[in-house]
Structure 1
Amino acid sequence: MTTGFSDLKELLLHPLGKGSDQIAQYGTTKKGLLTFLVLEFLCCLLLGFLIAPLVGFFMPHYYREIMAWGSVIVVIATFVIFVGQTVSIALNSAIFYGLYRLTKGTASWTDVAKGFIYGKLFSDIYIVGILILASLMVPSYSTSALWLAVAIVLGVFIWAIYVNVHLMSRILDSKKLTVFVLYIGLAIINVIIRYMLVS
């Protein structure tokens, strides 16, 4: 058996090889959600440590009492973000699974949810990492460095989409083109739902 972190590590290091195969064979929705929760908590904790000194520096002394609530705020933020992202993954995977059933596929909804969870983890880590690197690359705000950073971010975004399609095709044992078309269908349905909610 594997752990959620070993599955994620293999996916990050070998996204088109061993990582996708390991998640397709041994990954579970439960391990993915636990890994997702821990990483969300670490991100919120890091954000809390970055914001807390600013509160003490820019605000009067009586606002520093907010720092005492820092741990509670981090836990609440982690819970809210985790619940929101989990609901989003559940809804998207349900829509995707409904479209997938039209292709006469035999995988279950939990397989689709597993693909969405690990795909989101992969995409978030890669995109956040590249955004941090891009922000370090553009301290002078020169036009050429800015365009290079935009090109790198766009390239990583396309790479993350390709890895998500590859991972889902391995989990569902489907062709990549079929999975890509299903993702496009999901995007169109999401746009329609958002349009209906706004209007």
Structure 2
Amino acid sequence: MPHQVGRWPVWHHLPRKLERQRGSCLPRMMRTLRIFRKLQTMPMTTEGAKQLKVACWLVVISAVIILGQGCGARLDPGGQFAGRARLADIGNGMCQQRDGLMWQVEPSEIMASADQALAHAEAMSLGAYDDWRLPSKEELYSLCVLFDMKLAGDCPLHLQGSYWSRNGTLQAGEWQVYSLCGGTDYHYLESKQGRVLAVRP
């Protein structure tokens, strides 16, 4: 039976102090800190506890360094893609991705009904095309990433608010972008209403 060690006190209140900082760029760091805090309560062998304790302190030191630097060291996610636009304005109120996917530039008014949004998209006729449809949540995500990484080229489309999507079921929502120290995080927030931003084919 390996020797068990109890809980060892390490930076117990640090996560709460960091979370109180508005506009913090540390959500991923915070998730890591919370995981380590939970691990403190788990029984471990002496050797395992030592190793985990070292890892915990490394996380704490990293957090302190980031707090001291702020977000000044955050990388520009679009810097390495300069001159490599993945979206282009093709006129007639449309933008096209390199993979051929086309988006309407001007979304509809806000619609509270899923059936209304679906009917609107299916009845659309734009640029000599009549096969417009609601995008999937993943397609909206890819569009959000293109704009966030500054790969949208000259496309005049402006993403703002919630849009209807179809993944088997119809739903409205928006992809929210969170700037982190060293990268970007994306979260989908559901809504009860949204605009139609149609796509084809």
| Structure 1 or 2: more helix by fraction | 1
Work out which of the two has the higher radius of gyration on C-alpha atoms and give 1 or 2.
Answer: 2
| Structure 1 or 2: more strand by fraction | 2
TM-score by length of 1: 0.27
TM-score by length of 2: 0.26
